[in-house]
Structure formats: structure tokens, C-alpha cells
Amino acid sequence: MGAIRPEILTWARKTAGLSLEDAAQTLGLKEARGQTGTERLAALEAGSEEPSRPLLLKMSQAYRRPLLVFYLNQPPKTGDRGQDFRTLPGPERYNPELDALIRDIKGRLGLIRSMLEDAESEPVGFIGRATMEMPVALLAARAAERMHFALAEYRAEKTHDAAFAYLRSKIEASGVFVLLLGNLGSHHTNIPVEVFRGFAVSDMIAPLIVINDQDARAAWSFTALHELAHLWLGDTGISGPGATNRVEQYCNDVAGEILLPAKELAAFPKLVTLQKAITEISEFAEARRLSRRMVAYKLLRAGVINKPTWSELSAHFHKEWLAFRQRQTERQRASEGGPSYYVVRRHRVGPALLGLVRRSLDEGNITYTKASRVLGVKPRNVEPLLDSGVMRGVR
């Protein structure tokens, strides 16, 4: 390993959201040789002295960075995220796995765009056609009409997965690719939902929606429509949990209006206790193929519940989901079962992109190497992936 570059130390601390004083205290730097802990850290960042390996290990933990990062020649570049609609502290905001994922998405986008241009595809007409001055109900109606989305058909599906598949098919038929990506190809690089929930790429030829598949499946439909609202606004950017700014609240309201029109909340029973609220919301959400947190959010926006109640409900539902996910993981480990590699990959990529790659390969417009980049698999896995039930009819 080479010498540690001081600018790496400064970058790691700042992107962790720590001041010199806070970092020195977290690292346990004591006064020595007439210098305070803060002064010692400043000297390290100025290059006046070299950090020991034990100190680097402490920095790796405190700054939440892999140890190897400190041996780079320069700080890693932050992915071009467009607008960042999240409100997060440093460690989550500057997540390196997220930056790598966004760079991967942008790389795929260029190839997808090239395939569509070779096929002389028409621009997607609704990208950037709305503003936040448009009433929520109006944009929700226009988006549903453009997709040919029928709420009754969505709710008639027997499971959350089937309901999402129906919605995804409508979004992709309207010209938008929907990908499920929450890591860099292995569970070791899973990106928490707290870091990002969705990502929209506003492109007239190849608009993309990326959903973090680490989130609860019941929440995927809401996230998809939230990101679709961003595309109507012409936004490229990343979204996280919560909605503390105007544009995020607007996109949440549009998504909520499509899946749960405001008029349906009028007859919602009075929620006198937390337990009653949990029960009523759970039954209401399940009957409509919605996430419980989304229903609670709609009730908050409608003034049916207050913010403290919403916070309690949200925390309760999140805790239950984490417990459910843990049970699922344990069952899969015990049975060594679960869906096959190709089933998982097809589900992540989606029918529209699979169909586009199949046609482009058949027409000689793309190589297997480029196809593998678009699909996120090795070149030798492209044909097995495409030949395993790929849908050809989209776009």
C-alpha cells in the first residue's frame, strides 16, 4: 500500500458529516506533544504526519468507509444524481454504493438510448409536460389516462406482486423503463431504503425509473408512481423516505391520488387508539393492494391523523416489515430455495428492456458485450436470460 493522501482523509470526514472537533472526539484522539485531538487531526489532514494503521481502522469505522478507500490516489467521484430530493446526514447522503449504482445506470442509459435511436423510436411525449402549478388530481388523472391504468384492475390482482406487475406493464407500455435495483449485484452491497427509495432519469427517448428492491414489495407501486410524477415534471433525481420538500410532497400526492383517490378517505373510520389505527389501516391497505405506510401518509395529508400518530404508525409498520424480512431470509437459508438466478434477473430488468435487447440483438444493432452491460449479467448469460420467457411486445 502507498502513502495516504491527506485529501482522502478530509473527504472521508466531510462526507461523513463530521466537523474536525466531532471527528477527533469520535476517533478518541487525545492531547499529545502539545496538540489537542482536533489539532492532531488537522495536522493529519494537512499531510504533516502519516496516520497509523490502527487509526485508519478507527477512521474506517467512524466515517463508514471501506479501509481500501483511504489508499486511493484521489477521492472517488460522486455520481451525477441530478437533483437530490433527500434530506439525509453525510454518511447516508454520500453512500459509495449508491454512487456506483448511479454510474452503472447512466452507463446502461447510453446504450438503451442508442438502441432506441437505431430503432427510430419516437420521443416519450409526456416527459416534462407538467409543472407543480398543475392541481394534483389533474396530473394524477392525466398520468393514469396516458398509461391506460385502471384502478379496479390493479386492485383485482390477488397479490402485491401481481398488482405491481400490472402497474409496471402500464408504465413500460407508456415508454418508461422500470428497473428494480438495490445493490451492485450481490447482497453484500445492498443499499438501505434509508439511503434511496427511487431514482428517475428524465430522458425524452429513454426515460428510466429505478426502484430500490430492498424496500417492501407493497411499497414498489407507490415509488414507481412517485418517480413517474418526477418524469412528468422533467426531473432527474433521487428520492428517499419521507417528504420534507415541496416537490417530494407533490410527487407523493400525485402517486397517492392515483392509487387512493382522496374521496375514498371520506368514510374512513375514526381512529381512537393506535391499535385501532393499525388494524383499520392494515385491512384497508390489504384490500386495495397498498402499503400501510402509504395509507397512513394519505391520512396524514388529509388531516385524519396528526404527525405524531403518523410517526408512531410509520415506525410500527417499518418494524413489522423488518421482522417479516428477517423471517423470509431465515426460511430461505433453511430451505436453500428461492427463485432461480434468471427469474431474479428478469424481474429486476423488466419486460420492456428484455424485449428491446432481444430485438436489437436479432437486428444486429448491439453486441452481446453491450447487451450484457444493459442487462447487468455476463455475456454468456445473455441468451439464457432472454430465452427464459422474455416478453417481446413492449415498444
Tell me which of 32 and 121 has the higher pLDDT. Answer: 121
Place 49 in a pLDDT band, splitting at 50, 70 and 90.
confident
Out of 181-185, 244-248, 309-313, 336-340, the most confident range is 309-313
Give the pLDDT confidence score for residue 160 in this predicted structure. Answer: 95
User: Which has the closest alpha carbon to 214: 231, 230, 195?
Assistant: 195
Euclidean distance between CA atoms 36 and 361, whole angstroms: 64
Place 391 in a pLDDT band, splitting at 50, 70 and 90.
very low
Give the pLDDT confidence score for residue 13 in this predicted structure. Answer: 87
Q: Is the distance from CB of 206 to CB of 197 less than 8 angstroms?
A: no
Tell me which of 61 and 55 has the higher pLDDT. Answer: 55
Give the pLDDT confidence score for residue 392 in this predicted structure. Answer: 41
Average pLDDT over residues 42-64: 89
Average pLDDT, the chain: 88
Output the pTM of the full model. Answer: 0.81
Task: Fold for 6-71, please state it.
Answer: 434 Repressor (Amino-terminal Domain) (1.10.260)
Residue 381 burial (CB count, 10 A): 16
Question: Could you report the per-residue pLDDT of 82-123, keeping only the tens digit for each?
Answer: 677 776 555 556 677 788 788 889 889 999 999 999 999 999
User: Which has the closest alpha carbon to 368: 392, 349, 384, 391?
Assistant: 384
Tell me which of 9 and 65 has the higher pLDDT. Answer: 9
Q: Flag whether pLDDT at 393 surpasses 60.
A: no
Q: Is the distance from CB of 252 to CB of 298 less than 8 angstroms?
A: no
User: What's the Rg (C-alpha) of the chain?
Assistant: 23
Which amino acid, one-letter code, is at 394? V
Ramachandran class of 340: left when φ > 0, alpha when ψ lies in -120 to 50, beta otherwise = beta
Euclidean distance between CA atoms 297 and 260, whole angstroms: 11
Which of 5-14, 102-111, 235-244, 377-386 is least confident?
A: 235-244
Euclidean distance between CA atoms 395 and 59, whole angstroms: 49
Give the pLDDT confidence score for residue 337 in this predicted structure. Answer: 60
Which of 30-44, 80-94, 241-255, 327-341 is least confident?
A: 80-94
Average pLDDT over residues 369-380: 94
Place 395 in a pLDDT band, splitting at 50, 70 and 90.
very low
Distances 240 to 98, 229, 390 between C-alpha atoms, Å: 12, 15, 31
Question: Could you report the per-residue pLDDT of 294-304, keeping only the tens digit for each?
Answer: 999 999 988 88
Euclidean distance between CA atoms 233 and 230, whole angstroms: 5
Q: Flag whether pLDDT at 394 surpasses 60.
A: no
Question: Could you report the per-residue pLDDT of 212-266, keeping only the tens digit for each?
Answer: 999 999 999 999 999 999 999 999 999 987 667 899 999 999 999 999 998 998 8
Contacts of 221 (CB under 8 A, 6+ apart): 154, 160, 163, 164, 167, 259, 289, 290, 291
51 secondary structure, DSSP code: P
Which of 74-83, 272-281, 300-309 is least confident?
A: 74-83
Q: Is the distance from CB of 386 to CB of 358 less than 8 angstroms?
A: yes
In the chain, % of residues over pLDDT 90 = 63
Give the pLDDT confidence score for residue 72 in this predicted structure. Answer: 83
Give the pLDDT confidence score for residue 328 in this predicted structure. Answer: 80
Q: Flag whether pLDDT at 21 surpasses 80.
A: yes
Strand-strand pairing, 83-84 and 237-239: parallel
Q: Flag whether pLDDT at 81 surpasses 70.
A: no
Q: Flag whether pLDDT at 159 surpasses 90.
A: yes
Strand-strand pairing, 198-201 and 177-180: unpaired
DSSP H or E segment with residue 93: helix 90-93
In the chain, % of residues over pLDDT 70 = 91
User: Which has the closest alpha carbon to 40: 53, 25, 54?
Assistant: 25
Q: Flag whether pLDDT at 30 surpasses 90.
A: no
Buried b / exposed e across 216-248, counting CB within 10 Å, b at 16+? bebbbbbbbbbbbbbbbbbbbbbbbbbbeeebb
Q: Flag whether pLDDT at 45 surpasses 70.
A: yes
Residue boundaries of the structural domains of the chain: 6-71, 83-259, 341-386
DSSP H or E segment with residue 124: none
Euclidean distance between CA atoms 222 and 197, whole angstroms: 10
